[in-house]
Structure 1
Amino acid sequence: MADRSRIEWTEVTWNPTTGCDRVSAGCDNCYALTLAKRLKAMGAAKYQRDGDPRTSGPGFGVTLHEDTLAAPLRWREPRIVFVNSMSDLFHARVPVGFVRQVFDVMAATPQHTYQVLTKRATRLARIADQLPWPDNVWMGVSVENREVAARVDALRQVPAAVRFISAEPLLGSLSGIDLAGIHWLIAGGESGAGARPIDPRWVCELRDQCLRDGVDFFFKQWGGRTPKAGGRLLDGRTWDEMPVRRPAVSRSARPMTA
């Protein structure tokens, strides 16, 4: 199944796995962990496994959902799909074989554009050569502050057609971050109870660097108590740049490789 998404840079979400564990400061106010707890209380079948309370929570234990793998094969109209909004596909407890199955489905459905985002960039780079990398897969890493900027170096090792950075929640200045080999950057503030403030200078630094380096820039939100509380305007306008979606190519029409 897929769920229509309110995330501005995608259309639907697809969760072949659910659940995760905290790995860095960007996880501290995880919306997915909070939502999983609520879904468990509502009796949702996918959210009945609890995670380690030190790093996870109720309903947020890592769980594979093989019954959802075939869902994109049934979607007739092209979609922009955020893969695993409720998990991290490159979590250590997701077997490489299952990650490959997810990638095989993405390769078999070139009419869709898939956006995969991870905080586990080291594992991503380590197993990248075991996965197919069709043109419709966009691969990204979360970079909330300088302490995790090395994730971008790992991303550069991945042969994705589009490589992107999600600087959300942006928790510090990333001025001067190396954008070589990066095609798209999303920035945004944190929302929800206890949202940490974002400094407008941090956003402007990233916007200006993207303009200089020819990287598409997307500003999602200022954040606050609710996602829409602070609006989306930056210097009087919205910034909704995205990489150009390539026309779908049928698998039979793909060039043969030696």
Structure 2
Amino acid sequence: MDNTRIDWADMTWNPVTGCRHGCNYCYAARTAGRFAGYLSQGVKVSNDPRKEEIVQEVKLPNCEREGIVVLDKPLKTMTAAGNVVNAPYPFGFTPTFHRYRLGDPVKKQRPRNIFVCSMADLFGTWVPTKWIVEVMDACMAAPQHNYLFLTKNPRRYTELDEMALLPRRNNFWYGTTTTEAGQSYFISEHHKTFTSVEPMTGPLFPEAGGILVDWVIVGAETGLRKNKAVPERAWVKDLLDACREEGVPLFMKRNLTDVWGENLVQELPTMLGRR
């Protein structure tokens, strides 16, 4: 588990890493690519998650199905300084279940807001249901924390809830990434829900009935990608006005400073107030 610069969370926890959505603005893919590789018999094995042929050349241990990996213990890598450490993304952005990380939340006694799988989409179609169940069980074993999940595949939330596999607990927050109007997101009377509008690529007007989630996060694209998305102030203002009308808290990420100014609105739901 790592402390994080993400404005709305205290820590990130990545029992699963990797994703197949292929978003061109994805910071996680760039990060995983930078730190890909591991030591094999004392030799550094490097791979680039953006190049399929390189990933295929690396022998993936414990493959439960094609193209995904399960690690019951960490692989090692060597830093630039020559230190041997646990490899955070041994196979780059290949979906990987780091089962050895499941016990991390229970070791943290002070309550925290934990962003689960900041380096993955835990609810992607390629993720085995049993991985999700094991992650949820690990969360329930440490109820002192709030757990925040985020997906671009909100249908998986509904499918899991229909199987009684999506915990209905007030410290479990189910988020959907949206970027512009017309994209679906998870709403529920039985779960805490939010949407993360990041990067905001167009105006986002609420559907009929208003804002239907418990919290809204909005931000710009991070990183130095050429032609990166830059939201317009008017889009952010319209979203703020809609949230105000519905009494829904809105959190502007720091990367909106150039668009909005220094006086950012950074509201947290009462239950997520800083621990």
**What TM-score, normalized by structure 2, do the two folds share?**
0.75
Instruction: Give structure 1 stretches of 5+ with no counterpart.
Output: 224-229, 248-258
CA distance in 1, matches of 2:269, 2:237: 20
Per the alignment, residue 190 of structure 2 pairs with 159
The change in CA–CA distance for 1:9 and 1:81 in structure 2 (over 3 A counts) is: same
Of 153, 171, 179 in structure 2, the residue corresponding to residue 136 of structure 1 is 171
Larger-Rg structure:
2
- Figure out how many residues of one structure are paired with residues of the other and give that number: 227
The alignment partner of 1:98 has SS state of helix
Show the 5 A alignment for 1:1-258. 2-22=1-21, 27-40=23-36, 43=38, 51=49, 53=51, 59-128=92-161, 129-147=164-182, 149-150=183-184, 152=185, 155-157=186-188, 159-160=190-191, 162-177=192-207, 179-193=210-224, 194=226, 195-222=228-255, 230-231=257-258, 233-234=260-261, 237-245=263-271
User: In structure 2, the residue corresponding to 1:126 is in which secondary structure?
Assistant: helix
Q: Give the 3-state SS of the residue equivalent to 2:156 in structure 1.
A: helix
Q: Is the 8 A contact 1:22 1:28 kept in 2?
A: no
- C-alpha separation in 1, matches of 2:138 and 2:270: 22
1:135 maps to a residue whose letter is: N
**CA distance, structure 2, for counterparts of residue 176 and residue 210 of structure 1:** 9
Write the letter of the residue equivalent to 1:176: P
Q: Is the 8 A contact 1:119 1:141 kept in 2?
A: yes
In proportion to residue count, which structure has more helix?
1
Q: Secondary structure at the match of 2:12?
A: strand
Q: Which runs of no fewer than 5 residues in structure 2 stay unpaired?
A: 56-90
**Higher strand proportion:** 2
Q: Runs ≥4 in structure 1, deviation > 4 angstroms?
A: 47-54, 230-234
1:160-219 deviation per Cα after TM superposition (whole angstroms, max 9, x unaligned): 2x2101000000001234544311000111122222221111100101100001110001
The percent identity for this pair of structures is 32
Q: Distance in 2 between matches of 1:222 and 1:127?
A: 33
- What is the alpha-carbon distance in structure 1 between the residues aligned to residue 187 and residue 194 of structure 2? 10
Separation (CA, whole Å) in 1 of partners of 2:156 and 2:123: 6
Distance 1:122-1:61 versus aligned 2 partners, 3 A rule = same
Counterpart code for 1:15: N
Q: TM-score if structure 1 supplies the norm length?
A: 0.79
